[in-house]
Structure 1
C-alpha cells in the first residue's frame, strides 16, 4: 500500500510539472595558445575552459513560455596563478507568437547579428579579429553581471530582427536579417551615449555544396573595417577556414587561417592569425559539448 501511495504521489507531481523543464548543457576545451606580441605574459601557454548552461522554462496554459538562464564558466591560461569559476547574472524572459522579450544579462543586438562572427578560426577564436564591429557592444556575460538591459527579438519565417537597450552602457542597438535558401543578409546599427561606440554594419554569407563564403563591412565612429571569408569541407569532417580583413586604423592587414576535424564526439581545432600590428597568435586543441 505504501508503494502505491508513493507512486500516486509521484504521478501527481509529474503531472503538475509537465510543462516545466530544467536543462543542463555546455562545452569544454583544452589546448595550447601562442602569442608573438612583445611583452605577452606567456609566449606559449596551456589553455582550458569549461562552460555550463543552466536553463529553466515553463509554459502557461495560454501558451506563453517563460525562461531563465545562468551560466557557470571557468578557465585558465598561462603559467600564472589559476582562477576560479564564476556564475553569470541571469537572463530572464518570455516568448509568445514569435516574439521574445528578455531582461537582465541580455545577448545584445550587435552581438547576435547573423554573420558577425563568420570566418572565425582556431580553438579559441584568437581574439575575434574577423569581427568588423570595432565598438564595445552589449553581450551575454558568461561569469559576470552583464549589461542589465532589455531586448525584444522577433522572427517570422525567413525574417528576423532584434532590438536591445542597456541603461548601464547606454547602448541602443537593432539588427535585421533575411534568409533565402542557403544565403543570409543582415544589417545592424548601434547608437551609444559614447560616440566612439556608434556602429553600423552589414553582412552577407551563404553556402554551395562543400563551400561557404561571406563578407562584412562595418563603420565605427567613422573608422571602417571590411572582411571577406571562406571555408571548404573535405571528406567526412575536415573544414578549412580563412579570412582577410582591412581595418583602416590598423598598421597591417589582418588575416586568419584555421581548421577543424571531427573526432566523432569531439573536435580537433587550430588556427593562426596575423593581427593589426603584424604579430601572430595561434592555438591548437580539442573542444567538445555535453
Structure 2
C-alpha cells in the first residue's frame, strides 16, 4: 500500500484543507488450472482511494477500482472500473454513500437459519445511494438502487437495529422494485419483491440465540426461524429451525472444533426437503503453511495447501471435484496459484 500527500489545489473536489491523502493498493494473481481454465491465467486490480478531512468534522472520500479480469481465461478483458466506484461523506455518527455499497436492508438484517423469505436485495452491479446514522447504540440506514437507464430510484429499503443491554433487535423493509436494465448476470442478487423482517438476539448461560421473522408481501409467504449456538469447551454446537408457510420446514445442526493448530467443522441440514452435509478441517503446520481438506455431499471433496510467503504474497495448491468447492471455494480440478497484495 502506497500513500501520497497532495496539495488541495491538486484535488479540487476535496478543497478546504491543506492536503488530501491518496492511497494506492492492489492485488495480482498468476495461476494454472487443468479443468476450469485448462491452462495459465492472470488477474490484477488496482484500487485508488482519495480522502479529505473537512473543517466541520466530516471526511469526504472516493474509492476507484480498476480491474483486469480473467486474462487468458478464454476472454481477454480490458481494464474497466464498472461497479467499483464509491463516493462517501462521513462523520463519527453519520454517512452518505453512493456507488459500490450494500443496500440498507441487507446490511443491517440478521436472519435465523436458512429462511426462504428474507432475500433482501444485495448490491451487485447496481449503483446504490445510502444514508446511515449511528446514535445512542442504534444503527439506521435508508438506501435506493439507481436504475441506470433513467437515473431514477428502482427500489428503496430501510432498516434499523439497536442494542439494549443484553438484547439486539432490528427491523428491515424493502419496497417492491422495478425491473432493472442491467444485464441479467449483473443482478443475480437483486430481488424485486416487497419484503419486511424483524429479528432479535440475546445471550444467556453462554448460548447465543437469534429469532427472526420475514414476510414476502408480494407472494404472501413468510418464514419464522430460530438459531442457537452454544460453546462447550473447544466445541461450538449450533442448530436452527425455520417454519415456512409454503413448502417443507428447514432445520440443521453443526459442530465446530478449534484447538491449537487443528480445526474441524461438521454440519447437516435439510433446507425445504433438500439435504446436505459435510466435514471440513484444517491443520497449521507452522512457518506459514496450512493444509485444508473437506467433503460435502452436494459438491464432493477438496484438498489444498496454502503457504504464506509474507509481505502479502502466498501460494495455493489445490484439488477440488467441483467449482468453488467448500469453505475455501477452490476451483474445479488441480490449481496452482500465486497471490500478491500491494
Please say whether Structure 1 and Structure 2 have the same fold, judged by a TM-score greater than 0.5.
Answer: yes
The structure, 1 or 2, with the larger RCO (C-alpha pairs under 8 Å, 6+ apart) is 1
Give the Cα separation in 1 of the matches to 2:157 and 2:275: 32
Q: Which residue of 2 aligns with 1:152?
A: 131
Alpha-carbon distance, 1:139 to partner: 1.9
Task: Confirm whether residue 140 of structure 1 aligns to residue 123 of structure 2.
Answer: yes
- CA distance in 2 between counterparts of 1:25 and 1:242 reads 39
Task: Note if contact 2:197-2:214 (Cα within 8 Å) is conserved in structure 1.
Answer: yes
Q: 1:234 to 1:25 in 2, by over 3 A?
A: farther
Counterpart in the other structure of 2:164: 180
Contact 2:51–2:62 (CA under 8 A) maintained in structure 1: no
Count of residues paired in the alignment? 231
Alignment match, 1:101: 96
Cα-Cα RMSD: 4.3
**Which residue does the alignment assign to 1:167?**
146
Structure 2 unmatched runs, 5+: 9-17, 28-44, 148-152, 179-190, 283-326, 329-340
**Relative to structure 1, is the Cα distance of residues 14 and 94 closer, same or farther in structure 2, using a 3 angstrom cutoff?**
closer
Give the conservation status (yes or no) of the 8 Å contact 2:139–2:160. yes
After TM superposition, give the deviation of residue 55 of structure 1 in Å.
8.0
Residue correspondence of structure 1 range 1-290 to structure 2 within 5 A: 20=21, 22=23, 56=49, 58-62=51-55, 63-68=57-62, 89-116=84-111, 118-119=112-113, 129-130=114-115, 132-134=117-119, 137-141=120-124, 145=125, 147-168=126-147, 170-193=154-177, 197-221=193-217, 222-235=220-233, 237-250=234-247, 252-262=248-258, 268-282=264-278, 284-285=280-281
Q: In 1, Cα distance between the equivalents of 2:46 and 2:263? A: 20
Gaps of 5+ in 1: 1-11, 27-51, 75-80, 120-128
Secondary structure (helix, strand or coil) at the match of 1:139 reads coil
The answer to which structure has the higher strand fraction is 2
Superposed CA offset, 1:64-101 (max 9, x none): 223455598x9xxxxxx9999x9852333121241111
Cα drift, residue 219 of structure 1: 0.6
